[in-house]
Amino acid sequence: MIWKNNPTVEGLNAIQQGTICSHLDIKFTEVGEDYLAASMPVDQRTKQPMGLLHGGASAVLAETLGSVASVITFDDPTKQSIVGIEINANHLKSAKSGHVYGKVKPIRIGKKLHVWNIEITDDVGHLVCVSRLTVMVIHLVTPK
């Protein structure tokens, strides 16, 4: 398993309280050996004026998955943090209702950069969005 400190779905959901994730009702649903999964409703909070899932909402789901994944790869999160430095999203299919489901897997977990692949699907498994997130690792304590 690439995750440190035995993350749980309950623990990941608890740290999202009071953030954009709780506002959009993003919920972590699974912690796998090398992936995380989460869901997000397609509703009035996540739709654009034409009634379709907003691309920005997909990007929020993708960045949430990748950022949390980076943090839980650290042995000691008090000594490291991350900042997103690039995200892209290819919107492949529209969603009008139900939920979308994101799954993040690593492309590269380096000492200074992490790159994540995020796939977002709809209720019937159609690929809605493919995203890639790059984060920079910040070392909070100077090694001796």
Residues designated catalytic: 63
Is the Cβ–Cβ distance between 42 and 99 less than 8 Å? Answer: yes
DSSP letter at 53?
B
Nearest residue to 120 via CA among 87, 96, 89, 98: 89
| Element spanning 68, H or E | helix 55-71
Which positions ≥6 away from 118 have C-beta within 8 Å? Answer: 61, 62, 65, 66, 102, 103, 104, 129, 130, 131, 132, 133
DSSP letter at 95?
-
